[in-house]
Structure 1
Amino acid sequence: MFRSVVVLFLALGLAVPANGRAKVKVVASLTDFGALAREVGGDRVEVVTLASPTQDPHFVDARPSFAVDLAAADLLIYAGAELEAGWLPPLIRTAGNGRILPGQPGHLNVATVVPLRETPAGSVDRSTGDVHPQGNPHTWVDPRNGLRIAVAVTQRLKAIDAEGAEVYEANLRDFARRLGDKMREWKDRLAPFAGTKVIVYHQSWTYFLEWAGLVEVAAIEPLPGVPPADSDVTALVEAQRGAGVKLVVAESFYPSDRVRFVAERLGAKALELPAMTGADGTTGYIDLIQRIVDRVVGALE
């Protein structure tokens, strides 16, 4: 039934633009990858994103329309390192699209083009609830990785659409220039707070904090993706009491009561941050990092 729905949508929905040049169809698991594809692809690409920027990307409801999008895609971009393991693989199988399978130009696993942090020394059993068994997949919040991903997207688009190579390269240069200018500005603003200690709810801020010069000292979750029990939270507070933690950070889809409790007990500030483009009204990748920096600096000043 699910596959028949896909076929029906494809029969009704695939059209060629009036200019005769079909756009490259990009499907991104997350809005950040979609935003980067738009930066590089410009008007030569049509971008669809799957997960909402205000939901936990580890846990997304698979919709039939997602498989329809994947069946029509020329390029799939996803975080990898099993971030989408619970929902994306079945959709890819249902889509039956050879263009987006591993080894094809239309397959971009972001975890293969950026340096991963927190990779386990041995095997990790997902049955324990750990949703980071291959390392930390939240790579995109480090702007250096944003540029790495944009470069990889450019390479894939050039392989898929050779006629647009010059456009993609020009768009990448422009994006790199604008992002580089902002990175220097952001680092200057963050410099006075180097070494500030931060607790996170989920380990989705590791890459940003490392780039920003801040120090992640603990996470409220006992394992990534495992909700903390009261005893976990109490033990965390006792362990960090007097350590000088200044911020307790989380996204909007995590329990704010846990975040506030820890912050209040440690004399720190609770800070909600947008982790994906589109959250909190952000309109693009650079705008997302700008909002994060603004919030962090504002909380520490």
Structure 2
Amino acid sequence: MKFLNLFALTSLFCAAPLAAKVKVVTTTEDLAALAAEVAGDSAEVTAIARGYQDPHFVEAKPSYLLKLKKAQLFIQVGLELETGWAPALLSSARNPGILPGRPGFMDASEGCEILGKPTGGVDRSLGDVHPLGNPHYWLNPENGRVIARAIAHRLSVMDPDNSGKYKANLAAFEERLSEKEKEWDASAAAFKGVKVVTYHNSWPSFARRFGLEVVDFVEPRPGIPPSPAHIHSLITRIRASGVRLLLVEPYFDLKLPEKVAAESGAALVVIPPSVGGEAGIKTYSGLFDRQLELLKNALGGK
């Protein structure tokens, strides 16, 4: 009898299904890192684009469709950053629950401080200008805080049984982020007001938050290759303006930035804009740790 009771009890536990984790798919590793902070072990979080890729251009793969087909929550950067690939993936995934306007779709830009909104008309002559504003807003940690809060709210609505966990994880993340911001501010004080040139217009949020002055860009317009005349003019301006740093993302060809740096005297800094942009950058806070370390080293460690 004892054996039968034990067998029945064991069968009962074996038959009871484990609570399914919410499946979250993000367009970038930055959003995945923030979602993971909030979700903890209550959700499965995966990203489509790798941090070492240009998020404007991602080649669609069948594996992405499989992820999206199973997803319950899809999170994008928005502001048309992923417009060249994400809409097509969503429409092909056969998962209506994550389409725009549905509960499983989230645009992380909502509620964030967005810079660079064009004031006039936008056409192709201006290059790849984003009419809704600059989409690299995650490079301000205050926006990271806003995104994390929005993810926590959305997960709590979708998975109310774990709402308490999401809220606790969010609170712990915000506390850690506040402490890290104190460290970053102390580090960034050494280069407030430093003039920089960037390859692409990816850094307005970062520059405003940490006190850098962006003087110009290697690209004459977003996504437009520079002409020899533009490069000559840029080198002249860098010398005249006292620009000290030239920032370029690792997924751009370094040939022109190296030429500009060599002829202008500015220090070239290959700086990842995303989590996963280097092998050692695995968290949202780790991204800023590394970026500020690179800037400090480029300025002589001062």
TM-score by length of 1: 0.90
Distance in 1 (CA, whole Å) between partners of 2:110 and 2:89 is 21
Offset of residue 233 of structure 1? 1.4
Out of 118, 129, 153, the position equivalent to 2:116 is 118
2:74/2:106 contact within 8 Å kept: yes
1:126/1:133 contact within 8 Å kept: no
Offset of residue 48 of structure 1? 1.4
Distance in 1 (CA, whole Å) between partners of 2:73 and 2:291 is 29
Q: How many residues are aligned here?
A: 284
Instruction: Note the alpha carbon deviations across 1:29-51, whole angstroms, 9 max, x for none.
Output: 00010011110001111111111
2:180 alignment partner AA: K
Distance in 2 (CA, whole Å) between partners of 1:227 and 1:143 is 30
Bigger Cα displacement from structure 2, 74-83 vs 256-265: 256-265
Distance in 1 (CA, whole Å) between partners of 2:197 and 2:177 is 27
2:154 corresponds in structure 1 to: 156
Structure 1 segment 204-283 matched on structure 2, within 5 A: 204-281=202-279, 282-283=281-282
SS in 2 for 1:248: strand
Structure 1 segment 73-112 matched on structure 2, within 5 A: 73-112=71-110
Larger Rg belongs to: 2
1:139 alignment partner AA: Y
Offset of residue 196 of structure 1? 0.4
Distance in 1 (CA, whole Å) between partners of 2:64 and 2:113 is 28
SS in 2 for 1:263: helix
Distance in 1 (CA, whole Å) between partners of 2:55 and 2:230 is 24
SS in 1 for 2:74: strand
Share of identical aligned residues, percent? Answer: 42
Say if 2:46 is the partner of 1:48: yes
1:291 corresponds in structure 2 to: 290
Structure 2: tracts of 5 or more residues without a match:
1-15
Offset of residue 94 of structure 1? 0.7
1:144 alignment partner AA: E
Out of 25, 32, 35, the position equivalent to 2:33 is 35
2:66 corresponds in structure 1 to: 68
List structure 1 segments (4+ residues) > 6 angstroms apart after TM superposition: none
Out of 186, 196, 218, the position equivalent to 1:188 is 186
SS in 2 for 1:245: coil
Offset of residue 19 of structure 1? 5.1
Instruction: Note the alpha carbon deviations across 1:150-173, whole angstroms, 9 max, x for none.
Output: 111111111111111110010001
Alpha-carbon RMSD across the aligned residues, in angstroms, is 1.5
Q: Identify if the C-alpha distance between structure 1 residues 131 and 30 changes in structure 2 by more than 3 Å, giving closer, same or farther.
A: farther
